[in-house]
Amino acid sequence: VRIPLPVSNILWEHCIRLANRTLVEGYANVKKCSNEGRALMQLDFQQFLMKLEKLTDIRPIPDKEFVETYIKAYYLTENDMERWIKEHREYSTKHLTNLVNVCLGSHINKKSRQKLLAAIDDIDRPKR
């Protein structure tokens, strides 16, 4: 059975969106991450995008920025992280908490970590 192109594009879009959301969910489950690990996340995602561009004509790739922004957040400093958390409400509490614990975990003191986690909790509070 031939699938009409508009239907095929919708199916591809949903699959790509789900794959990108799954990548961020996987990155949010990371327990430790070195600088090399962060670079590999970016490299893996670029490889994924290259393969997708060969498989489908859908442009722009759905949720591409969602994944790229999350990976780049691993490089933020403590001061930038608080601002980033407040600006990026599209990520779940789990995603944000992992960034604080894994990215800055060994680089900040307990008080600073609690401050960032409180900022995440403040953002999450209106949702409840």
What tens digit of pLDDT does each residue of 32-87 get? 887 788 889 999 999 999 999 999 989 999 999 999 999 988 888 878 888 888 88
CA atoms within a 13 Å half-sphere pointing along the CA-CB vector of 2: 3
In this predicted structure, the answer to whether residue 2 has a pLDDT above a threshold of 80 is yes
In whole angstroms, give the CA distance from residue 100 to residue 80: 11
Domain residue limits, the chain: 1-75, 77-127
**The pLDDT value given to residue 128:** 47
| pLDDT, greater one: 72 or 105 | 72
Token pair 């992280």 is found at 81
Instruction: For residue 70, give both structure tokens.
Output: 């999350």
Please check the confidence at residue 1 and state whether its pLDDT lies above 60: yes
Instruction: Please state, in angstroms and rounded to a whole number, the distance separating the CA atoms of residues 46 and 52.
Output: 10
**Residue pair 116/85 in contact by the 8 Å Cβ criterion:** yes
- Candidates 81, 86, 73; CA nearest to 41 is 73
Query: How many angstroms separate the most distant Cα atoms in the chain?
Result: 61
Highest mean pLDDT among 16-30, 72-86, 97-111: 16-30
* Number of helical (H) and strand (E) elements in the chain, helices listed first: 6, 0
Neighbours of 59 (CB within 10 A): 8
Cα–chain center distance at 95: 7
What mean pLDDT value characterizes the chain?
87
Task: Report the interhelical angle of 35-55 vs 5-27 (nearest 10°).
Answer: 170
